[in-house]
Amino acid sequence: MVSPTLMRRSESARGAELNLDAKHLFQVINSDRKKGGESNDDAPKISVSEMISKLSFAYEKIRNAVDYEEDHLLRKNAIIRILKRQVVIEGVLKESNSEQIATHLLAELIRAGYLPNNKLPESKIKETALLLEKYIRLKDHSVAKINALLNLKTDLGKAKDLIGEKNSVISWILSLAACEIEENFDLNRVKQTIVSNMFAVLSKNLELPESLPYKDDLEIQTYLSINRIFLRFDKAMLSLILFKYYHATWSSAEKNNLSDEEIDRIADTLPVLHKAIDEQLDHPLVKPLDRIVKVYSLYYNILLENVQGDPVKAYEDLSRDENKFLGNISKTCAAKYQREKNRLWRKAFRSIIYIFLTKSIFVFLIEVPAIKWFNEPLNPVALAINVCFPAVLLFFIVIMSRMPDKKNTEKIISGVKEIALAGSERTQPIMIRVPKKRQNAVDFFFNIIYTAAFFASTYFIIWVLSKAHFNWVSITIFMFFLAFVSFFSIIVTKDVKDLIIVARRESLLGFLIDLFYMPIIAVGKWLSSNVSKVNVFVFLFDFVIEAPFKVLVEIAEDWTRYVKERKDNML
């Protein structure tokens, strides 16, 4: 029950008043906080062996160490892996229905530490199976259509394209299923309320220039941006939002009430739908909206952190003295800055391990044999530098990372007032700025300067390495790591940079660094999205080790259950 204190304001209060959306948020936080300890202890729970779980937990930690992903995406990615293995690989060998797959899925997630043991009710299996069933039906209908076309085609080239399309469709559908299952695990009323509030604020304030033809897409793009920035959804999770946006009946189909005709109709539209979703995810409004939403997400995150400990006290502080409430916001900012700094170092440590396991170790596997193959002299110093350099560079970049200052905190306080206090709402619209398209001649000229800066910085680095007696093989490997780690460091330091909403003061040094270093980062981005995706360790874990390992885990789990049953029968 919502506390009446949240709806009451003292006659003698000299503080400020919350706006209606902020009041509702405070009420949801307070209600959610009270319900936090409530649970149905009488309902039967899903339980797995603690001893066997330790093996799965250790495996998952090792597997994640060689495949860098954000922490909040690990469980969703694990669900995708499990579904692909059970439906695509094991599905060829055995018949299984959605409830069996859901049972194995939840058990594996609990063993790996993604879900708590002996806490989830067994009804969660049925709930997950119902979500999964509609995706399995959609997969079967889609595959049947492609197989029918395969039976008609005799051209090998077209057959190869259809097989590739079939694999892509299966992968995409299972990815959507994993995202909806993850969404069902993480239903958070407070965050959904913030998403709703932020959408209302931005929908009212955002304005497009008359010259931009995107008015029909502004609403969905704003919603996607809020989910991408505030909830930190990746492309797969955003694809699910768009899938439901284009097929409204899908989200209401938890009880598997979609007819075969409806499933068949959706399967017919999948190629067009997939293309439409990709176009929305690559929309020209993505970057300008993300810049705006990043700022408002920070406002709401700070407000949430300040309130969620005790929403009633926060409300009373605001009612009595606005300055006290805003002072607490300032303290919350300082605490968040420190937490993110500590988290940055934890991420850096994990990233250094990832880089060492997946990149530095290849120096021994590639550089030494290549040097011998090309009859180049082996330089132990160059070899040692190439082994240590990636981790040292990342460490140095983390040390040099800029932290938020007092002006940043002042702007956050002003933003919290805008979203929470009645009478402090924004009066001027937020004009969305999309970079103007330059003339071809100007663009060509700038590209020449950009390319020249890249070659100048590359030439200087190669000259320095040559003076240190690096051979061309060692120089190539050094340049690869420089580009890759330079881009990778942006990912590692992103959360700290997202706290900074005050524009950096321009300087000559900063301009020169951007001019000569940004092209190297651009090369690193290309390498990260292309060459570095070929992760041999991930392939070994997912296609060689995981399937037999999980089979052994299942056998061990059944054996421990059997022994326990025999022991119970002895009493």
CB < 8 Å & 24+ apart, contacts of 368-374: 370/473, 371/471, 371/473, 371/474, 374/473
The answer to whether the CB of 169 falls within 8 A of the CB of 143 is: yes
In one-letter notation, the amino acid at residue 250 is W
Q: How far is the CA of 270 from the CAs of 108, 143, 176, 471, in angstroms?
A: 30, 11, 12, 52
Residue 323 lies in a domain: no
**In Å, how far are 69, 270, 408, 502 from 403, measured between CA atoms?**
23, 45, 10, 11
Structure tokens at 532: 């570095």
Looking at the fold, whether 513 and 503 belong to one and the same domain comes out as yes
Tokens (6 digits) for 453: 């800066």
Query: What is the dihedral angle through the alpha carbons of 498, 499, 505, 510, rounded to the nearest 10 degrees?
Result: -50
Do 182 and 89 belong together in one domain? Answer: yes
Residue 450 located in a structural domain: yes
Q: Are residues 382 and 273 in the same domain?
A: no
Token code pair at residue 29: 């936080």
Q: Is residue 104 part of a domain?
A: yes
The tally of CA atoms less than 13 A away on the side-chain side of residue 448 is 6
> Is the distance from CB of 317 to CB of 324 less than 8 angstroms?
yes
Rounded-to-integer distance, Cα 342 and Cα 336, Å: 10
Whether 24 maps to a domain, the answer reads: no
Q: Identify any residues that bridge with 45 across adjacent strands, giving them in sequence order.
A: 121
In this structure, are 466 and 498 located in the same domain?
Answer: yes
3-state secondary structure 115-148: CCCCCCECHHHHHHHHHHHHHHHHHHHHHHHHHH
Tokens of 130: 């119902």
- Mapped onto helix, strand or coil, the DSSP state of residue 164 is helix
- Backbone φ, ψ for residue 160 (5° rounding): -60, -40
Distance of CA 158 to the CA centre of its chain: 35
User: Do 407 and 545 fall into the same domain?
Assistant: no
In a domain, 12, yes or no: no
Measure the CA–CA gap between 306 and 439, rounded to whole angstroms.
48
Beta carbons within 8 Å of 78's beta carbon, 6+ residues apart = 60, 108, 109, 112, 114
- The pLDDT score that the predictor gives to residue 2 is 45
Supply the angle between the helices 508-529 and 472-492 in degrees, to the nearest 10: 100
Alpha helix (H) residue ranges in 400-535: 406-420, 440-467, 472-492, 494-498, 508-529
Residue 320 lies in a domain: no
Q: What is the pLDDT of residue 4?
A: 45
Total domains in the fold of the chain: 2
What pLDDT was estimated at residue 547? 60
Can you give the pLDDT at residue 9?
45
Best CA proximity match to 536, nearest among 372, 387, 392, 361 = 361
Same domain? 412 vs 556: no
Q: What is the pLDDT of residue 570?
A: 58
Distance CA(528)–CA(480), nearest Å, equals 10
> Domain range holding 254?
50-187+234-284+535-563
One domain for residues 68 and 172? yes
Phi/psi-derived region of residue 84, left when phi > 0, alpha when psi is between -120 and 50, beta in every other case:
alpha
Distance CA 151, CA 163 (A): 12
* 90 domain residue, yes or no: yes
Q: How far apart (Å, rounded) are the C-alpha atoms in residues 418 and 425?
A: 5
550 with 515, same domain: the answer is no
Q: Which of 251, 217, 299 is nearest to 131 (CA)?
A: 251
Q: Is 506 exposed, middle or buried (0-12, 13-18, 19+ CB in 10 A)?
A: exposed
CA atoms within 13 A on the CB side of 298: 26
User: What are the tokens at 240?
Assistant: 């699910």
257 and 373 both lie in a single domain: no
Q: Which residues of the chain have pLDDT under 50?
A: 1-2, 4, 6-13, 255, 532
Structure pTM?
0.79
Mapping DSSP to helix (H, G, I), strand (E, B) and coil, where does residue 160 land? helix
**207-217 core/surface letters (b: 16 or more CB in 10 A; e: else):** ebeeeeeeeeb
Tell me, yes or no, whether 165 lies in a domain.
Answer: yes
Q: Are 515 and 452 in contact (CB under 8 A)?
A: no
Contact 44, 121 (CB under 8 A): yes
pLDDT at 176: 95
Residues 377 and 467 in one domain: yes
**Residue indicated by tokens 């003339």:** 439
* 482 and 554 both lie in a single domain: no
Q: Are residues 489 and 558 in the same domain?
A: no
